[in-house]
C-alpha cells in the first residue's frame, strides 16, 4: 500500500450502441423507461444533477450540449436519475477521461457505495488520450422504477460526457472456478502443493479472511475479541528487509568494494520479525502471505520530500531499472541481483521449516509508474519478474513459494510458467461492501481470453474494506481471499475489542468472519495433512 488510494485495473472495452433521449432531466427519465432496450439508454452528463462541476463545450469532442468536469471541488459530483423497467443486473458505460493521468472516483447506486469509476488518461495508463473513452462498470444491480447513479470526487480532475445503461448479458459461468492446482515451480515442496490444492479446491465456494499484521497487534486482537477468531491468512510486508532501508541508507559502493563485509554488516541489522511471526502463525495453523515494498537498490534521493525510507516510490529514486535489467554486466543489474539474493536468504529459513508462503513481489504494476519497478514499461517489468523468479527458485531453491502476480494488463503478465495465482489491490470508499464484480470479471476474462487453458485463482491482495460475502455469492464474484491493510484508516479498536472507527462497520466484520462461506483460523483444515490428490 504505502498508500495512495487507487485501483489497478486490467484494461477493458465494450462496444455497444446507444439511444439518445431528451436533454432535459425529467423528459430523459420518462423516455428512458421506454427506451431501455438491449442497445441501451443514453444519459448526457450535462443533463444530470450537477454538484460543484462545470458544463464545458471547448477542447474535446462530445455528444449532446457539452460535457462535465473537472471535479476539482471537495463536493464535486454528478447524479444520473434513471428509470428501469425491470429489476436486474445492468452495465453502465461511461464516456470519460482525464487529461492529467488516470483518475479514480467514487460510484454509488441508490445511495449505496458501488465501487469506483476509472477515467483513463495519459501518461498513467500508457495511452495517448486526447478525448473520451468507453469505460464499463459491469453487473450493477438496479431496481424497477427510479434509481440514482452518482459519481463523486475521490481523485477528481476528470471529465464525463455521458452514461449508457444496458442490460448485463455477458455473465460468467461457474466453470471459471475450475482452476489448476499445479504450481509453476516443478520442484515445489509438498507443503506448497498442499496449500495450492486447498486454494484450488476452495475457490468459488469459500472466501479466506486475511489481515496485514500479526497476533498481538491491536488489529489482530481487536478482530479476535470482536468475532471470536483470527483471520485465516496473516499478511506481512518485507519492506524493512530491503538492504537500502537497513542502514538507513547504504552506499552501494560499499557492496562492490567489500561484498563480504557489506553482507556481514547488513546481516547484523536485519530484522527478524517476518520469520518469527510466520513460524508462530504456521504453528497456529494459519496461512502466511508476504509481499515486498522493495526500496530501490541505489539512487535514493534522501531529501525532505523524498526520504530514503520512501525509496520504493518512483519519485524518491533515480535508479534506472530499465537500463539495469537490460545490461547484465552493469552495476545496476548486480545490485538487483544483490537485493533479490538477500531477500531470498531471509525467505530460506521459512522454506527449511516447511512453511509455504503466498509470495507477492513487484505489486501494483501496470502503467501507473507509482513504484520504481513499474517505471520503465512492461518489458523491463517482466524481465525483472523472471530474474527474481529464476534466482529464487533455481539458485536459492525456494520450493515453498506460491507466486502471486499483482500486475495489470496483458503486457505485464510474465506468463504461466512464472505465476501461480493473480491478485488485485483495491481501496474503495469506506463501507463499500460491493462485490467489485467489474474488477473481478476483467481479470477473469484476461485469463480466459488468452486461450491457454484454465484461469488462475484470483484474490484481493490488499483492500481497505471487507466485502459482503453475500454480494460475492449473488454476483458470482467469488474472490478467493481478501487481505485487509493495517492502520488507523481501516481499524481502530479499544482495549475491550470494540471497534471505534474504520472503513468496515463492526456488524459487517462479524458477519464476514462468521459467514458460512468464510474461512477464518478457527475453521481452516489442517493444511499439513491436506490431501494432494
Q: Which residues are catalytic?
A: 364, 462
Give the single-character DSSP code of 22: -
**Which H/E stretch holds residue 520?**
none
Task: Kindly give the residue spans of alpha helices, DSSP state H, lying in 287-376.
Answer: 321-325, 331-352
Q: Which residue has the cell 557492496?
A: 255
- The span from the first CA to the last CA of the chain, in angstroms, equals 36
Rg (Cα) of the chain, in Å, rounded? 24
d(CA 299, CA 326): 18
Buried b / exposed e over 307-340, threshold 16 CB at 10 Å, is ebbbbbbbebbebbbbebbeeeeebbbbbbbbbb
Residue from 98, 128, 138 nearest 14 by CA = 138
d(CA 464, CA 489): 8
Q: Is the peptide bond before 123 cis (omega within 30 degrees of 0)?
A: yes
DSSP 200-238: HHHTTT-EEEEEES-BTBHHHHHHHHHHSS-BSEEEEE-
Amino acid at each position: 500500500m504505502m498508500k495512495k488510494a487507487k485501483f489497478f485495473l486490467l484494461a477493458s472495452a465494450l462496444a455497444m450502441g446507444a439511444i439518445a433521449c431528451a436533454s432535459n432531466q425529467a423528459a430523459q427519465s420518462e423516455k428512458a423507461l421506454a427506451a431501455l432496450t438491449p442497445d441501451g439508454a443514453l444519459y448526457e452528463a450535462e443533463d444530470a444533477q450537477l454538484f460543484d462541476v462545470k458544463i464545458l463545450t471547448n477542447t474535446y469532442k462530445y455528444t449532446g450540449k457539452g460535457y462535465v468536469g473537472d471535479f476539482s471541488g471537495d463536493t464535486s459530483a454528478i447524479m444520473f436519475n434513471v428509470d428501469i423497467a425491470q429489476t436486474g443486473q445492468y452495465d453502465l458505460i461511461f464516456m470519460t477521461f482525464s487529461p492529467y493521468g488516470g483518475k479514480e472516483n467514487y460510484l454509488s447506486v441508490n445511495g449505496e457505495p458501488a465501487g469506483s469509476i476509472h477515467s483513463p488518461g495519459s501518461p498513467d495508463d500508457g495511452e495517448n488520450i486526447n478525448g473520451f473513452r468507453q469505460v464499463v462498470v459491469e453487473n450493477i444491480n438496479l431496481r424497477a422504477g427510479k434509481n440514482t447513479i452518482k459519481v463523486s470526487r475521490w481523485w477528481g480532475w476528470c471529465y464525463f460526457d455521458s452514461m449508457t445503461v444496458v442490460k448485463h448479458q455477458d455473465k460468467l459461468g461457474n466453470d471459471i472456478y475450475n482452476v489448476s492446482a499445479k504450481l509453476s515451480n516443478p520442484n515445489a515442496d509438498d507443503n506448497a502443493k498442499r496449500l495450492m490444492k486447498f486454494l484450488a479446491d476452495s475457490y468459488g465456494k469459500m472466501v479466506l479472511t486475511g489481515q496485514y499484521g500479526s497476533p498481538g497487534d491491536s488489529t489482530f486482537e481487536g478482530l479476535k475479541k470482536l468475532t471470536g477468531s483470527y483471520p485465516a491468512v496473516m499478511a506481512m510486508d518485507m519492506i524493512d528487509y530491503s538492504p537500502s532501508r537497513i542502514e538507513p541508507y547504504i552506499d552501494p559502493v560499499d557492496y562492490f568494494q567489500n561484498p563480504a563485509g557489506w553482507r556481514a554488516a547488513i546481516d547484523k541489522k536485519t530484522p527478524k520479525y517476518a520469520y518469527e511471526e510466520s513460524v508462530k502463525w504456521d504453528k497456529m495453523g494459519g496461512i502466511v502471505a508476504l509481499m515486498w515494498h522493495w526500496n530501490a537498490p541505489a539512487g535514493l534521493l534522501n531529501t525532505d520530500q523524498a526520504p530514503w525510507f520512501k525509496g520504493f516510490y518512483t519519485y524518491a529514486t533515480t535508479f534506472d531499472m530499465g537500463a539495469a535489467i537490460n545490461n547484465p554486466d552493469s552495476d545496476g543489474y548486480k545490485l538487483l541481483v544483490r537485493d533479490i539474493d538477500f531477500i531470498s536468504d531471509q525467505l530460506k529459513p521459512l522454506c527449511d521449516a516447511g512453511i509455504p508462503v503466498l509470495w507477492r513481489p513487484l505489486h501494483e504494476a501496470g502503467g501507473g509508474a507509482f513504484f520504481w519497478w513499474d517505471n520503465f514499461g512492461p518489458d523491463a517489468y517482466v524481465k525483472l519478474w523472471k530474474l527474481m523468479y529464476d534466482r529464487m527458485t533455481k539458485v536459492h531453491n525456494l520450493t515453498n513459494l506460491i507466486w502471486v502476480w499483482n500486475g495489470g494488463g496483458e503486457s505485464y503478465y510474465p506468463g504461466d510458467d512464472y505465476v501461480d495465482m493473480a491478485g488485485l489491490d483495491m481501496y474503495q470508499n469506506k463501507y463499500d461492501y460491493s462485490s467489485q464484480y467489474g474488477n473481478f470479471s476483467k481479470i477473469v476474462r484476461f485469463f480466459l481470453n488468452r486461450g491457454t487453458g484454465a484461469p488462475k485463482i484470483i484474490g484481493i491482495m490488499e483492500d481497505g474494506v471487507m466485502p459482503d460475502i453475500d454480494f460475492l455469492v449473488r454476483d458470482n464474484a467469488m474472490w478467493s481471499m481478501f487481505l485487509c491493510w493495517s492502520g488507523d484508516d481501516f481499524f481502530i479498536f479499544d482495549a475491550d475489542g470494540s471497534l471505534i472507527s474504520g472503513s468496515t462497520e463492526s456488524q459487517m466484520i462479524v458477519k464476514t468472519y462468521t459467514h458460512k462461506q468464510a474461512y477464518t483460523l478457527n475453521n481452516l483444515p489442517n493444511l499439513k495433512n491436506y490431501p494432494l490428490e
